[in-house]
Amino acid sequence: MKLKSGHESVHLQGPEMEKQAKDFRGYEKGLVRLHPGRWLFTPNFEKFADGLYTFKYKSSDVVIMTWPKCGTTWTQEVVWTMRNNPDLNNSDALLDIRQRSPFIESDMFKPIPAMDDTTSKNPYLENFRKRCPGKDPADGIVLQMAALYPDPRTIKTHLPLSLMPPTLLDTTKVVYVARNPKDVVVSFHHHSRVMKESDYVGHFDDFVQYFVDDDLLYGPYWLHLKEAWEKREHPNLHFIFYEDLKGNTLEELKKLDTFLGTNLTEAQLKGILKYTSFEEMKARDEKIQKESEWFKVSRNVDIVEKEGGLFRKGQAGDWKNKLTPEQVEKMDIWTRNNLSSLGLDFKYGL
């Protein structure tokens, strides 16, 4: 299938797909790979790819762009709070971040509902019917609602620049967050076990192999990173390392304040620093989980209860507790082969 981005979409078949479906029980309906780039997505991505590529971004928008598990939700909350809740008195802040800041391509993870489906308990679908009367949910629930979000919009994506509108940086500010690959693979492994949309049941060593083979969902981290790194001097792109944000949060908030033009005071920035700390965000997320039936449907609750949910540790350097020497060597080889030419230095622990 040819997409408007110029990519060709091909469905995985044979032993490659059989192994993916065995290790990731959530991928039973298959996967598609996009060429060039070898980007990897659920089959539903084909339905929404052109809409994502032609989505109308505004100059007042801010896009949070990361490969999975690079500090996305944290950065999302920081940016939304700086722009919409600098004095921490906006009642909308009580809503889940997903309701305030749309995850633009997330329709590909959900079953495509029928127009006349009135039995679904999906909160996204219920909200869609209220906000988009007469619209067909099969054309994308989040995608269509995102167009109606009030300004200023803060929009999350894990898509690379090459699958976003080609004029994105000419119109819109993008905050890109990178994280050292060793912590990324550990965090993504946990995430893939927690979320039923992937439901990973394979061995951790196999997961590391999927990573170095560029065979995890979304595809090559190195290429995603390379596309953004090469645009890092663009005035509408703000490139952040997760480890810097973790190690000196207030200083990074000040840089974000300058980039976003929010002109916040020192007191406001310190208030936001505390409000968006790992401990406070984790406590708020746990409260939402307890009150949400959808949480029980979408996540492996037993793993969450034993090991933590989306907010697990929030650390830099946790890979040292998980990766074996052989896995570390494998990750180092992957990094040298794919990223050494870029001249960027990862921080592997604080």
* From 7, 158, 189, 190, active-site residue: 158
Instruction: Find all residues with CB under 8 Å of 260, minimum gap 6, and list them.
Output: 62, 79, 82, 83, 173
In whole angstroms, give the CA distance from residue 20 to residue 16.
6
CB contact at 8 A, 5 and 162: yes
- For 45-133, strand residue ranges (E) read 62-66
Signed CA dihedral, 101, 103, 109, 112: sign only: positive
CB contact at 8 A, 279 and 74: no
In whole angstroms, give the CA distance from residue 272 to residue 324.
37
Number of helices (H), then strands (E), in the chain: 17, 7
Q: Is 158 a catalytic residue?
A: yes
**Where on the phi/psi map is residue 134: left (φ > 0), alpha (ψ -120 to 50), or beta?**
left
Query: Which CA distances in Å does 299 have to 197, 199, 292, 312?
Result: 8, 9, 11, 14
**Where on the phi/psi map is residue 183: left (φ > 0), alpha (ψ -120 to 50), or beta?**
alpha
Provide φ and ψ at 84, rounded to 5°: -115, -15
In whole angstroms, give the CA distance from residue 71 to residue 67.
9
Q: Which long-range contacts (CB under 8 A, 24 or more apart) does 271-279 make?
A: 271/86, 271/87, 271/88, 272/78, 272/81, 272/82, 272/86, 272/88, 273/249, 275/81, 275/88, 276/74, 276/77, 276/78, 276/81, 278/74, 278/311, 278/314
How does DSSP assign 121-148, residue by residue?
--HHHHHHHHHSTT--GGG-HHHHHHTT
Residue entry with tokens 């009367």: 133
Q: Which residues are catalytic?
A: 158
